[in-house]
Amino acid sequence: MQSDDVTAAQSKAAADREMSCSVLPMLVILSPALFFLLMPDASVALWEDYKHVRHSSELYDNKHECTWKCLVFVLQWPGGFCLSLYNETHCKIPPDVNNWTIHGLWPLGVQSCCSCWPMFHSDVQELKENLTEYWPSLLTSRSPFQFWKEEWKKHGVCAACVEGFNSPLKYFQICLKLRQHFDIYTWLEAAGITPSCQQLYKVVEVSSVLAPHLGDKHEIQCVTDHKGREVLFQVKARLTQNLTVGCNHHGNTNTGPAAGSGPGPHPTGHPCPSDVPFYFFPINHQQPWRPCS
């Protein structure tokens, strides 16, 4: 890690936090032609390519056999992310970032992958523009590529036992498609739930808007800001190996944001409490850590 402006330790801890594995089982698929009909009951319409799924043993070695059945797709709201950092100057929101961004796609229940599959700039060159907009690094200490590389190493390599994910390019391509599909901003907006410095929202109302799209197992996460307010910052959705929404496979249910990683330099998110309304702050590029003051 070649951090320039933040101590390596802090940036490492922050990175660990962002990459923390939470995960379970999983899935499947695809090919360049990925069309996701991710409605909870749309699995049938999905994967023509499912039949092409192979397991890792054919691809590389047994250590990488798919042990997972579900994936967790995690999107973060930049307007809340920066509030989670202990040292606010470590946060930045690039000018072209105005929407929900990708945090990661994690095989569920897998604690760590391996460094056995290095990733290079050239692997995702063709996706660079979209990744830069939809998968930015919000830490000043970490370049976007470092973030992608860390996610690939920590989660992508574990997902690669499924043919549709078996290269950095495919993995990131799928993530971008999922991001396109999961248009949280628009869904919430249609229900009158928009970023605001004043308005408070309840888990139950946000959840009822998201459930038809993300399934019942989605999780709405908050951080607690310096004034003790609950602030929306992340949404997690479970997907099957087919990339259909909702994954009921039982297994390791440790989906905590810090699963597998040590204490970081900032509080980790938590499920927004059901009895405490939370804020959905706007994105403030000038003062990302104080969007409303």
Ligand X SMILES: *[C@@H]1O[C@H](CO)[C@@H](O)[C@H](O)[C@H]1NC(C)=O
Catalytic-residue membership of 103:
yes
Q: How far is the CB of 35 from ligand X (least distance, A)?
A: 13
CB-nearer residue toward ligand X: 278 or 289: 289
Closest CB to ligand X among 57 and 89?
89
Catalytic status, residue 151:
yes
Residue of 18, 151, 163, 230 marked active site: 151
Instruction: Please identify, using beta-carbon distances, which residue of 61 and 131 lies nearer to ligand X.
Output: 131
Q: How near is the Cβ of 130 to ligand X at its closest, in Å?
A: 4
Of 64, 90, 155, 218, catalytic: 155
With a CB cutoff of 8 Å and minimum separation 6, the contacts of 177 are 34, 36
On the CB side of 28, CA atoms within 13 Å amount to: 21
Q: What is the dihedral of CA 69, 72, 122, 173, to 10 degrees?
A: 90
The residues binding ligand X (CB under 6 A) are 5-6, 43-44, 46-47, 50, 87, 89, 98-99, 126-127, 130, 176, 180, 183, 185-186, 240-242, 244
Q: Which of 64, 103, 218, 266 is catalytic?
A: 103
- The answer for 205, left when phi > 0, alpha when psi is -120 to 50, beta otherwise, is alpha
Query: What is the rounded CA–CA span in Å between residue 140 and residue 217?
Result: 32
Long-range contacts (CB closer than 8 Å, 24 or more residues apart) made by 158-161 = 158/64, 158/68, 158/107, 158/110, 158/113, 159/26, 159/71, 159/105, 159/107, 160/56, 160/59, 160/64, 160/117, 161/55, 161/56, 161/59, 161/64, 161/65, 161/66
Minimum distance from residue 227 beta carbon to ligand X (Å)? 17
Give the nearest distance from C-beta 188 to ligand X in angstroms: 10
By beta-carbon proximity to ligand X, the closer residue of 45 and 114 is: 45
Q: Could you tell me the smallest distance in angstroms from the CB atom of residue 177 to ligand X?
A: 8
Residue 22 or residue 242: which is nearer to ligand X going by CB? 242
> Catalytic amino acids?
103, 151, 155
